[in-house]
Structures are given as structure tokens and as C-alpha cells.
Structure 1
Amino acid sequence: MLTDTLGTFALILGELLALFLVVSTTIALVNRRFGPEKMRDWMSNGRVPSPLKGLVLGAVTPFCSCSTLPMLVGMLNAGVAFQTAMTYLISSPLLNPIIVGGVGIIFGWQTAITYTIFTLAVSLIAPWAWGALGMEKSLKRVRVQGEGTPEPWNGLRSEMPGALRQAWTDLRPLLIPMLVGVAIGASIYSFVPADQLTAFAGANIWWAVPLAAVIGIPLYIRLETMLPVGLALQSAGVAVGPIFALMIGGAGASPPEVSMLAAIFKPRLLATFVITILAVAIGGGYIISITA
């Protein structure tokens, strides 16, 4: 069992480090090529409201919950509005095509449409509510890049070393929280195999949905694992609502993500984020139970 846990730890950590560095390096190159002010202007100006742009960007970037962090840091560093950045944070892991397609395959396309509408509404409403409650003040100090006069673009080969240094700078304060979160997630993931989840989520009773959502969050069920797990549970006779809550809880938040968010979120905002993901998982589970 220890060997399996260490293997899972290494696999998850390797994936997260690779994804973070690739995404963060790409963002650094984009910022160097076009400037952070252009990202801010594009996200803030135009006929399309900026939260909708955050929603669309989240929907077309099929990242897992942890992989949204470098993009989120890049947005905040560029001065993108709080509500827009938080809309992206919620929608990217929950509204991406892999999740929607998987829900359609497992539960049917009517359920997938219901899920999409529900998650879309939450992704827009929750950040607005956070802003109305003054949650922006619960962001830890974020380095906003100034306007200034940008240095000329020197070509990809010349710019790559600087982008890699910037990616490492962004990763460094998140590294310890990432290690802690991955260790927790790998331990739970290894010691709670999928075939034992039916004992927790199999009963078709009212408290099965919230219980499954709570269990799902620390499991860190990755996208490639979550869908076959859901299909297996459905084949084993587990009710649709608990399966859905388990999957969304695992996709929307995880120990690595929560640990890394703690580096940029104060406790009030961090707790609000986790509660929001729980609400999506539980509310969606009940809605799916009714409509399925």
C-alpha cells in the first residue's frame, strides 16, 4: 500500500509540476509578447461583459482544478478584475468539454444540458456574490504588473529563459502547499479505492448526496479517472445523484488546489471557495436526481 501511495504521489506531483510550468511559461510568453495591459484591456473592454469572457476562457481550457492556478495567478498579476478571474477559477474545472461530454455519456445528454446550465449560472453568480461581500479584500497581496514601456520582443528563443524564470517565480511560493496537498490527496486516493465508495454513496436517501460531495473533494479524482469511476459506480447500482456529487466534488476542488490557493487566498475567501464547490456538487446532485 505504501508503494502505491508513493507511486500515486509521484504521478500526481509530476503532472501538476509539468502542467503548472507549461501553462505558466506560456502565460509569461504571452505577457511578454503582448503585454499584461493587453490582457487586462481584452478582459475588461468591449461589448461582451468581462465575467462572460472569464466564463468562456474557463470553458475552453480543459484544465483540472489545480492546473487553473497558473492562469489565475497570471490574470491577477495582469490586474484582471476579481469577478472575472474568479469566474474563470470556477468554470475551468467544472464546465470544460471533458466534464460535459463525460456527464452526457454516463448520465445522458438531457442531464448534461441541465448540468451545463446549472454550472454556468453558478460560475457567474458566485463570483458576483463574492464581490458584493467584499471578498476581493481576502486576496493576499498580488503583484500587479505596471503599465510602463515594455521592452521589445526578442523572439521565442531569446524570450524562453526569462519565461521559464518567471514560471519558477510563480511556482516557488506554491511549491510547499502543493507538496502537502498532493501528499494528502495521494494518501486518500490510495486508501479509498473506487470499489469501496459504494458503501458511502450507494444508498438512495437524502443525505447520500451531501455525503458523496464531502467525500469527493479530498479524493482528488482526476478527469481521466473520474469518468470511469462514475460509470463503474452506476453499473454497481449507485444512485445518479451521489455519483454526480462525488464526481463534481472531486473535479472542482482537491487538497493540492486548496493548499495552493491558501498561498493567494486568505482563510475567508478560501473557505468560501470550498463551500461554493460543495454547494455546486450538492445542488447539482439533487437536481440531477430529479431530472435524470
Structure 2
Amino acid sequence: MQLPFLKKSPNTSTREYFFALEIDHGLIKSAVWSVINDKPQVLAVSSNQSWDDKSEDSLITAADAALSDATSHLDPTGKVNIHKVIFGLPADWVGADKISSTQLHHLKALSEKLDLQPMGFVVPPEAATKYLQFTEGVPPTTILIGFWPHILEITLVRLGKIDGTQLVHKSAHLADDVVEGLSRFSDIDMLPSRMLLYDSGIDLEEIKQLLLAHPWQAPTKHLPFLHFPKVEILPSDFTIRAIALSGGSEVAQATGLINSASETAVEQETVSEPAHSAADLGFVKDVDIITQSPPPPP
């Protein structure tokens, strides 16, 4: 008897799993992902782990806790061993598509200590932009604002392209901090009337209301908003999922885990133009990024 509608369950013991590790200023989180039905899928997400944003030991301790937490959600028995990882790195850790020498040293130590094999890296605003483009079906035009313990990360996106990211030290006046970041985009004639907030585990609803009450179009602000901006809150796991799914797609294609032809067809249906090629994101087939030379000093 043939049972065409009953498919054999995949053997999870032979499935390859990967980590996504997002390192932000003061916080670290991770996810476990795998390729299922020719697409990367997130299977588990960790809780946020704090680190001091300075020391190597603090980075390694927090990363270990995040990776262990994500793995425990996938497999409470502890039988699954995962080694390959995609890094999500702060914008100021990367220059000319390469990791700065100091941070490269930290990542090498982290990888050796935790027995990780780096597959590539991506900057979270870039991954978020591509993921937005995939989920919404059109190139996004928006202001992405990340709220970390001591830093605001403000990214201007127009038609799916990033015009730049500004890091602003966080003060007690968050609306003024956002104004400061937006003011640095001095060559922009019109700002998008949409703000998307992503978080560090804090309550973003209060911040949303604060931003909605701010007089963005007041003449004294000198900010080129054509319309009063709409403010939305992204899910708390949005950036780590974006890193895993958009970055994971690049890795899976580069390593042959996804059929390039089928993946291209899917992207053509949902995304008018990819945000980056694999090389743009630092994904290089069969090359460990930690062994690569850092960019020369300016």
C-alpha cells in the first residue's frame, strides 16, 4: 500500500544545526537554526544575557550562557552538539566589510573557548532590513531604532538600502537621543515617516508613547519629516531571527545546503532585490572568518 500523504519524519540525529549569535552593546542572545524543506528555520531562541561591553571574559561568559540556553530549548537532554555559528555584530565592530582587529581577537578567543566554527557575520540592521523586505514583500523605507543598555542604534533605510547607522550614547532623554541620531543624517532631504523599534529586553511601549508625543515636525527640530512618523514595535526576538534567517540563507546557499535555483526562485517571488550578496555579508565558502586578516588601520 502506498501512503503518499504520510511522509516519514526526518531523522533529527542526522540533521545539521547551526547557531546564530547576536552580540550587541551590553547584551547577547542566540538562536538555533537548521535547513528544513530547503529553507532556514529558527528552532529555538535564548533569553538575553548581559555583558560589560568591554572585557573578553564577560563576552565569553555571556555568549556561553546564551548558546547553552538556546540549545536547552532545542534539546533538554543535551545530546545535540552545535559548533557552526553566524555572528551578528555591532555596526562599529565592522569596517569595509571586515571585522576590526580588536574585536576579531575577541571573537577568535570566544570561538576557541566555546569550540565554535564561524561561518560568517552580518550587522543586525542589515539582516533586519533584508528580513523586513522578505516578510513585507517590498523594499522597506523606515528608521530602525535599537535600544541597548547604554547605546541607541539608529539606521536609516530607504527602498531596502541602508543610508547609514548612527550610534548615540543613551541619556535620560530618549527622544532627544533619537533627534541627535537623526540630525547626523545631514545630507537627507526627507526622512521616512515610519520608526521601527527593537529592544534590549526593556518595555518599548513606554518609549513608543514618548516618541509619539514628541513634536517631530516642529520648526525648531529642523528634521525633514513630510508626515508625522508612525512608531511600531518589532517582536523582541526579531533581530536574532533576522540574523539566523537572512544570514542563514546566505550560508546555506554558499555551503550547498540549499538548492541555489530553488532559493533564487523563492527570493524572486518575495524580494525584488537582495540586500547583499554572500560576499557582502562576509560569508565565504569553506573559509573560517576568524582566520582572515583584519582591515588595515585607517
Tell me if both proteins adopt one fold, taking TM over 0.5 as the criterion.
no
Higher helix share: 1
TM-score, with normalisation over the residues of structure 1?
A: 0.25
Higher strand share: 2
TM-score, with normalisation over the residues of structure 2?
A: 0.25
